[in-house]
Structure 1
Amino acid sequence: MGVIAWIVEGTWPACVDAARRYAPEPAGLDLLYVGGGDVPGIAHGAFAGLLGRGHPERDPGARLEDLGAASAARLLDAAEERLGRPCGRMERYGRVEREVVAAAEGAELLILARDGDPARLGPHSLGPASRFVVDHAPCPVLLVWPAPAPGLGTIPPPPRP
């Protein structure tokens, strides 16, 4: 397996640009989208528990699953178009951080973008899922800023002695 670029709403262009720049053309490249299954699951549960089980055609969870799949397809289409070269596509669903780590098994490189506080350098520039992926990835990780990086003056002060 070659390079995986984790595609997330809001930061995906930076990952695609990094893949174009750092993943050599002959290397296999996969765009990875991971959808959390929690929202459709909650809707399924609410429907079953509060609204009854007699009309499965009215279950809003199924509609949310369809909307999520369509959104993922549009996002992957846009990323593939921006990439401008052949690539593979992977869609996974579940606990986002764990699915990304599992998808990266055997990869030569995983590309992801910072998704936390964009205004300063430091640990808060990563959200919880990205932090988990960086800490647990079974391959090298390329971590990119989704916009120009903030200046060095934004580094948090050192701890007090």
Structure 2
Amino acid sequence: MTVIAWIVEGTWAACVDAARTHAPSDADIVLLHVSGSEAPGAARGAYAGLFGRARPDRDPGTVVEHLATEAGEHLLADAAERLGRPCTRTERRGRVEREVVAAAEGADLLILARDGDRTHLGPRSLGPASRFIVDHAPCPVLLVWPEAAPGTDTIPPPPPHPPHHR
């Protein structure tokens, strides 16, 4: 059995705890971090727009890529330590939601945490990337709250319906 826990700043501990709790002891656990391509691309575009291409050695996009990779490695190391059992650490780069879905191909379980509005129950408790992943995951998904779940009194009211005509 292969279990993938998506490691993201701010919610990773809940995913690791869920893997520790729900993955069988003989499961192969993969801790997955994805460095998005948006920030390095924006830095490159801004630099090129302001200064042209004369000094590619000063491209801030490369620095941002290295910083993101380093931050991801630290998160993965912290997650592996918290997990406390053998695991594989995987770092990917690209469009986050698509990389997570691609990494989940062939997995038996994908664990991710809610990353939107966590003060209310409901669909807004998922950010755009998490919503995409939940909707497109090629395997079962375990969706966890990074902290205690809000009470059921936070469920949004039903939409108004027009009165029935007889």
Residue by residue over 1:85-111, the C-alpha shift from the partner in whole angstroms, topping out at 9 and shown as x without a partner, is 110011111111111111000000000
1:42 aligns to what SS in structure 2? helix
What are the equivalent positions in structure 2 for 1:128-139 lying under 5 Å apart? 128-139=128-139
Matched, 1:32 2:32: yes
Superposed counterparts of 1:11-160, under 5 Å: 11-160=11-160
* Unaligned residue ranges in structure 2 (runs of 5+): 162-166
Q: Name the aligned partner's letter for residue 45 of structure 1.
A: G
Deviations 1:47-96 (A, max 9, x none): 22321222222111111111111100000000000000110011111111
SS at 1:107 equivalent = coil
TM-score, normalised by the number of residues in structure 2: 0.94
Which residue matches 1:2?
2
| CA distance in 2: counterparts of 1:116 and 1:44, whole angstroms | 28
Distance 2:108 2:90 in 1: 16
Larger of the two Rg values belongs to structure: 2
What secondary structure, in the 3-state scheme, does the structure 2 residue paired with 1:25 have? Answer: coil
Secondary structure of residue in 2 paired with 1:30: strand
Letter in 1 for 2:125: S
Q: TM-score, structure 1 length as denominator?
A: 0.97
What is the distance in 1 between the residues matched to 2:156 and 2:42? 38
Say how many residue pairs are matched.
Answer: 161
Letter in 2 for 1:18: A
What is the one-letter code of the residue matched to 2:77?
D
The runs of 4+ residues in structure 1 deviating greater than 3 Å are none
Write out per-residue CA displacement over residues 22-70 of structure 1, whole angstroms, 9 at most, x where no aligned residue. 0011110000001111111111122223212222221111111111111
The one-letter amino acid paired with 1:127 is G
Gaps of 5+ in 1: none
RMSD, matched Cα: 1.0
Q: Which amino acid aligns with 1:6?
A: W
Identity of aligned residues (%): 69
Per-residue CA shift, 1:112-137, capped at 9, x if unaligned?
Answer: 00001111100111011101100110
CA distance in 1, matches of 2:54, 2:125: 47
